[in-house]
């Protein structure tokens, strides 16, 4: 599914050059549920940008389902984001003055321009928001907004879901709802890559990559037998 080989990413900042990633190599198999952890400044965000095809590595190769993403043009990268990747963000990132339904439809606009309204409605039903389709995103609660975002992420049936602190802005109950949705998506065979600080959230993953100072510090299977449902947050 994901193959990273010796990926580096350098940023110029003023006179100096920041080494955000200094040779990251790892693989994720199809259907895995992995989480990436690390202190801030460890390179998590940069790694996630590259994984999400929003950024390109300075050197090294990144393959997503065998496509060598490092050499794609903007148009090809956009098509990959559109078809293969679903994004879930900490701050939901919905268009506030747009209805839930239209938010879910956005990825279809950039696929082939055919907007299948019934499909978008089914996706909203699936996250339990079929009755909220015509509400503006700004009118929904945080948990509802994040579930709209999940519906949007899966509307084009992507193989990979990238979730960046998906529960960071949610209360415990709403966070659990979102994590259960992700768990369901994983059981359907979708690969999930999760970035989080939260132990409870990380416990849903079956594998944990620890990033430190631009390198993979540890890569181990998570031995918890199941998600810790206590949820301290």
- Interacting residues toward another protein by CB under 8 A: 45, 49, 52, 54-55, 74-75, 77-79, 81-83, 87, 89, 93-95, 97-98, 102, 106-107, 109-115, 152, 156
* Distance, CA of 9 to CA of 19 (rounded, Å): 6
Nearest distance, CB of residue 95 and another protein, angstroms: 6
**Which C-beta is closer to another protein: that of 176 or that of 190?**
190
Q: Which is nearer to another protein, 52 or 57 (CB)?
A: 52
Of residues 13 and 220, the one with the C-beta less far from another protein: 13
User: 91 or 141: whose CB is closer to another protein?
Assistant: 91
| Polymer length in residues for the chain | 233
CB 201 within 8 A of CB 179: yes
Q: What is the spatial distance between Cα 128 and Cα 86, in angstroms, rounded to a whole number?
A: 18
Residues whose CB is less than 8 angstroms from the CB of residue 215 and which lie 6 or more positions away in sequence, other chains included: 21, 22, 23, 24, 43
Q: How far apart are the first and last CA of the chain?
A: 32
When the beta carbons of 134 and 232 are compared against another protein, the nearer one is 134
Smallest gap from Cβ 218 to another protein, in A, equals: 26
Cα atoms found within 13 Å of the Cα of residue 133, Cβ hemisphere only:
14
The smaller minimum CB distance to another protein, of residues 103 and 186, is found at 103
Closest distance to another protein from the beta carbon of 89 (Å): 6
Q: How far is the CB of 46 from another protein (least distance, A)?
A: 9
Q: Is 177 helix (H, G, I), strand (E, B) or coil?
A: helix
Coil vs helix vs strand at 173: helix
Instruction: Provide the token pair at 3.
Output: 């193959």
CB of 53 to another protein, least distance (A): 9
3-state secondary structure of 161: strand
Q: Which tokens in the block code for residue 31?
A: 């259907």
Q: How far is the CB of 104 from another protein (least distance, A)?
A: 10
User: How many degrees, rounded to 5, is the angle at CA 169 between CA 165 and CA 173?
Assistant: 100
């Amino acid at each position: 599914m994901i193959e990273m080989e010796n990926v580096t990413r350098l940023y110029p900042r003023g006179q100096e050059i920041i080494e955000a990633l200094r040779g990251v190599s790892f693989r994720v198999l199809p259907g895995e549920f992995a989480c990436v952890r690390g202190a801030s400044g460890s390179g998590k965000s940069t790694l996630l940008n590259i994984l999400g095809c929003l950024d390109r590595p300075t050197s090294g190769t990144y393959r997503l389902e065998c496509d060598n993403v490092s050499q794609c043009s903007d148009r090809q990268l956009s098509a990959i984001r559109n078809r293969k990747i679903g994004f879930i963000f900490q701050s939901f990132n919905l268009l506030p003055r747009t209805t839930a339904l239209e938010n879910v439809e956005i990825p279809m606009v950039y696929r082939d321009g055919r907007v299948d309204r019934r499909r978008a409605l089914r996706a909203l039903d699936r996250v339990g928001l079929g009755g909220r389709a015509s509400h503006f995103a700004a009118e929904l609660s945080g948990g509802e907004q994040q579930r709209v975002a999940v519906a949007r992420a899966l509307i084009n049936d992507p193989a990979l879901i990238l979730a960046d602190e998906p529960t960071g802005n949610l209360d415990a109950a709403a966070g659990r709802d979102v994590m259960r949705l992700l768990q369901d998506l994983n059981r359907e065979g979708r690969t999930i890559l999760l970035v989080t600080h939260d132990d409870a959230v990380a416990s849903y993953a079956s594998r944990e990559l620890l990033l430190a100072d631009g390198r993979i510090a540890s890569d181990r299977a998570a031995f918890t037998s199941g998600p810790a449902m206590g949820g301290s947050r």
